[in-house]
Amino acid sequence: MNVVAAAIVRDGRLLAARRTQPSRHAGGWEFPGGKVEAGEDDATALRRECHEELGVRIAVGPRLGEATDAGVRIVLYGATIESGEPQPLEDHDELRWLAPDELDSVPWLPIDVELLGPGARHLLERIRPGE
């Protein structure tokens, strides 16, 4: 299964979402995103998923990395919010904006742990001097 995820950065913080389902993932934190449907490219799928799950429109940026676990392949992309304010609409019950020193403050899902390095680098590249 192919999945896409977004490393959304705003004001020197990275967006993380806490899963509510499926039950084996409930309470775990992840980069927002979801399955790539038939006929979609990664960018189209990521824009659709962020709109459905968070209620935002995003601009998809560079490919940052990928991780594979139990037949699931996640590709992480940088992203910025074009419109809307993220809300936990679908499959999540909480969102947090994490500063670089807070990235380990939530229990990330195992596959997302593999993406923390690329996600953290993306975050640090976007922090302006003095922030």
Element (H, E) at 78: strand 72-83
Supply φ then ψ for residue 8, to 5 degrees. -90, 120
pTM of the predicted model, to two decimals? 0.93
Classify domain 2-126 at the CATH topology level. Nucleoside Triphosphate Pyrophosphohydrolase (3.90.79)
In this prediction, residue 22 carries a pLDDT of 75
Mean pLDDT along residues 76-83: 96
- Nearest residue to 111 (alpha-carbon basis) of 1, 36, 12, 14: 1
Mean of the pLDDT values across residues 59-86? 96
Please tell me the distance from the alpha carbon of residue 85 to that of residue 20, in angstroms, as a whole number: 20
pLDDT at 70: 86
Domain map (residue ranges) of the chain: 2-126
Confidence of residue 128 (pLDDT cuts 50, 70, 90): low
Q: Is the pLDDT of residue 80 over 50?
A: yes
Question: 93-102: per-residue pLDDT in tens?
Answer: 999 999 999 9
